[in-house]
Structure 1
């Protein structure tokens, strides 16, 4: 691992790009707002009250959500790729996204099978968030329970995929008995959205996100040692089970919360670690962790800005943009580099 290089210039450049993307994202939309008015709104000196409401109540929370979602998925992807030493591992390989989808499906599609109670639950604004969180939590607990009796890390990956298959089967059964309206609502949730969060919801989202971030930072030493193999990690005094547990919990908190509040957003968690390694040619997680955090936030802000269709009243699904932009990039990286840094 390269430890002597600090990459100060690269980090400075990323911070500048992040700031530009942040203010550009706030300025774009069906109503174009000049940068001067954006700065005025942030510092309490804007004359147009309509613009102030648009910025304060809609665009600013959405931009902050994009930063949290992009950085969180980038961190989760890095943790999973290092834990499983697999370049194709993403933040949802443990079945977290599938568990969230099952929870949401039970609320949205379950009324077709179970009737009134689920229909009443839909009236609550928090019902989908709570359902997604509980679904992710239950799958996480199942994976953790199995991981205590499994020594092989790759076995946990396979178990997570199997949990995903089970939940997908249940969702298929629920879909079969659901109405077209219910299916449409579920599909729209699957598109992902960054614009549905109020300041109170964003506060809760941020709190859980930062708990996961602290756990991720605490696992940096363990992540670096895992790159050299389990035996080397043991020789350094690393408790493999404890380290694996912390990494799984951190990933689940971040990715599960993102899925609950913003829906299942594809590509970012898989591709961002690879894109980051093109600029930061190191395997040291003291460098990679903050780097993927910044890079993920930048890419998500760019994708959200494209999804806005500036000057138009229409907004494209964020999942469509992340896939259209990201999938070709990942293919290009795999063809160009052939061998990933693991």
Structure 2
């Protein structure tokens, strides 16, 4: 049954992709397909990265209302963008090569992730289940710290530069730089291959620490590798379009509802396809029907926030 639904999701993705490429297309088809195809690839990469990283994170935490944004990735990205504007100025930041901004954001987010994971998970803990709880708490604290430093920088810069910093720190699915897609695809491909290789181990990790160890899984090693995969995927998607806090929550819970299975061999591709369908379909509607009257990120974050509140209220009612 879930395999059949996976095929339906694939067909829906194809329909959304074809509609994105062809609806209201006029003029030179070669240029239109190249222009829209580049944007389609970028949106698909971001959608897959967010969906897979969220499912993996929720598997490790065994909680379906948590997302990788809790680790402070979005706050760190905003801090990096604001710091660049602070030191270079708005004009200097605008003249900065996109590759420099991308690799700066990706490098520091990966560095912070590895430092955090290595420090907390590398210690020998006697108490069971403490590692992940301490990791979440530390990530939340660092997120607050990054936001505070960002606010401090924003108070010091020129008001015109503040507009540049604020704009660059917001998610935008409309300004994906095509020059960054190749390196992003390579990094994402490595992360997705690693996640697919661990798909059966992830099924066991979802049972909890004790069950995974009793079944012969090297728990700490698998958790660390999975967290590195999550960090790489989140870093790529954030560096490409900016932080998107609640979209992963929306897509992951939609996947759990439509694909009621514990098998990550189904959940990972299903979440990727549904995520791509939501972003591509939403962008098509906004571009061709609403003429960009509302940014897609605003709608996505609104729906994700509503989903978060519904999950919280549902949990309290039990």
TM-score by length of 2: 0.89
Structure 2 CA distance for partners of 1:318 and 1:104, relative to 1, 3 Å: same
Q: CA deviation at 1:13?
A: 0.8
Partner of 2:110: 137
User: Are 1:171 and 2:150 an aligned pair?
Assistant: yes
The 2-side partners of 1:24 and 1:298 are apart by 11
Structure 2 CA distance for partners of 1:125 and 1:199, relative to 1, 3 Å: closer
Counterpart among 219, 238, 263 of residue 284 in structure 1: 263
Q: CA deviation at 1:266?
A: 2.9
User: Are 1:81 and 2:76 an aligned pair?
Assistant: no
The number of residues matched between the two structures is 312
User: Are 1:10 and 2:5 an aligned pair?
Assistant: yes
Q: CA deviation at 1:203?
A: 1.0
Structure 2 CA distance for partners of 1:155 and 1:52, relative to 1, 3 Å: same
Partner of 1:322: 300
Counterpart among 177, 184, 189 of residue 205 in structure 1: 184
Q: Could you list the per-position Cα deviations for residues 188-208 of structure 1 after superposition, in whole angstroms to 9, with x for gaps in the alignment?
A: 223322333444321111111
Describe the SS at the equivalent of 2:169: helix
Partner of 1:104: 81
Tell whether the 8 Å contact from 1:307 to 1:321 is kept in structure 2 after alignment: no
Structure 2: 5+ residue stretches without partners? 126-130
Tell whether the 8 Å contact from 1:61 to 1:195 is kept in structure 2 after alignment: no
| Greater mean deviation of Cα atoms: 217-226 or 285-294 | 217-226
Structure 2 CA distance for partners of 1:162 and 1:125, relative to 1, 3 Å: same
Q: How does 1:21-100 map to 2 (within 5 A)?
A: 21-28=16-23, 32-33=24-25, 48-49=27-28, 51-57=29-35, 59-100=36-77
Tell whether the 8 Å contact from 2:69 to 2:245 is kept in structure 1 after alignment: no
Partner of 1:149: 123
Q: Could you list the per-position Cα deviations for residues 308-334 of structure 1 after superposition, in whole angstroms to 9, with x for gaps in the alignment?
A: 25363x463332021233333444456
Partner of 2:15: 20
**More helix by proportion, 1 or 2?**
2
Tell whether the 8 Å contact from 1:99 to 1:136 is kept in structure 2 after alignment: yes
Q: How big is the alpha-carbon RMSD for the aligned residues of Structure 1 and Structure 2?
A: 2.5
The 2-side partners of 1:11 and 1:245 are apart by 29
The 2-side partners of 1:302 and 1:338 are apart by 33
Q: Could you list the per-position Cα deviations for residues 219-257 of structure 1 after superposition, in whole angstroms to 9, with x for gaps in the alignment?
A: 223321122221110111111111011111100111101
Q: CA deviation at 1:17?
A: 0.7
Partner of 1:222: 201
Q: Could you list the per-position Cα deviations for residues 109-150 of structure 1 after superposition, in whole angstroms to 9, with x for gaps in the alignment?
A: 3346xx9xx937843232321231133123213212322126
Structure 2 CA distance for partners of 1:265 and 1:308, relative to 1, 3 Å: farther
Tell whether the 8 Å contact from 1:220 to 1:286 is kept in structure 2 after alignment: yes
